[in-house]
């Protein structure tokens, strides 16, 4: 497999035109391209659980969506691709018309390879952009860190219920349920 060279610095326009040919997900941060890992197959079950849970919400019935790895321009200098981002139907229509939209709720599935300082900076960036709730899902330690603001964070473990309130009051799940490993029959 041929690996496309990774540019160190670029414009947003150049970044959006770039087509990497490797197995990484790239984000754009103040002119610098940041390489992150794509979602691993081990994380597919978590993603499926989170997306299926959303189908039971009032927001889903209104036409809202949880969008996987979509572009989120958090500032003129930063473009992120969160694992899941919640958009209202109206935001989706505005986005289709070329207007940048900031999701109210973001979920990032964190791997042991993720840099904790960069992750904390990303959470801050999300709140500065107007995101209302951020979940950091940590499969390796079976925890979910629920941020309602930079100063209000709850660590959910075991049977603790994680909630996306006040953004999505009916989107909630117990940590044990999120990390359950079903067996094939």
The CATH number covering residue 45 comes to 3.90.1570.10
Task: Clarify whether residues 7 and 60 are in a common domain.
Answer: no
| Model confidence, pTM | 0.80
Cα–Cα dist 21/15, whole Å: 14
Cα–Cα dist 88/65, whole Å: 6
Question: For residue range 36-70, what is the model confidence (pLDDT) as tens digits?
Answer: 665 666 788 999 999 999 999 999 999 999 999 99
Please give the tally of structural domains in the chain. Answer: 2
Domain holding 33, by residue range, is: 1-38
Residues composing the chain: 185
Task: Clarify whether residues 45 and 29 are in a common domain.
Answer: no
CA nearest to 75, candidates 11, 15, 22, 29: 29
Task: Clarify whether residues 10 and 77 are in a common domain.
Answer: no
Is residue 184 one of the residues assigned to a domain?
no
Cα–Cα dist 33/61, whole Å: 37
Question: For residue range 70-124, what is the model confidence (pLDDT) as tens digits?
Answer: 999 999 888 898 999 999 999 999 999 999 999 999 999 998 888 899 899 999 9
Task: Clarify whether residues 86 and 21 are in a common domain.
Answer: no
Task: Clarify whether residues 51 and 116 are in a common domain.
Answer: yes
126-to-62, 107, 119 alpha-carbon distances in Å: 25, 11, 11
Task: Clarify whether residues 57 and 125 are in a common domain.
Answer: yes
């Amino acid at each position: 497999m041929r690996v496309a060279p990774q540019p160190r610095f670029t414009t947003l326009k150049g970044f959006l035109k770039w087509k990497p040919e490797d197995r990484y997900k790239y984000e754009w941060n103040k002119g610098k391209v940041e390489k992150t890992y794509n979602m691993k197959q081990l994380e597919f079950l978590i993603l499926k659980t989170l997306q299926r849970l959303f189908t039971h919400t009032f927001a889903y019935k209104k036409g809202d969506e949880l969008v996987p790895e979509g572009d989120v321009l958090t500032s003129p200098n930063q473009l992120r691709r969160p694992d899941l981002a919640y958009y209202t139907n109206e935001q989706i229509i505005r986005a289709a018309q070329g207007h940048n939209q900031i999701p109210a709720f973001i979920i990032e599935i964190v791997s042991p390879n993720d840099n904790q300082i960069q992750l904390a900076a990303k959470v801050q960036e999300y709140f500065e952009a107007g995101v209302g709730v951020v979940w950091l899902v940590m499969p390796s330690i079976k925890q979910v860190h629920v941020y309602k603001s930079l100063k209000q964070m709850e660590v959910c473990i075991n049977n603790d219920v994680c909630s996306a309130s006040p953004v999505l009051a009916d989107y909630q799940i117990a940590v044990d349920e999120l990390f359950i490993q079903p067996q094939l029959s």
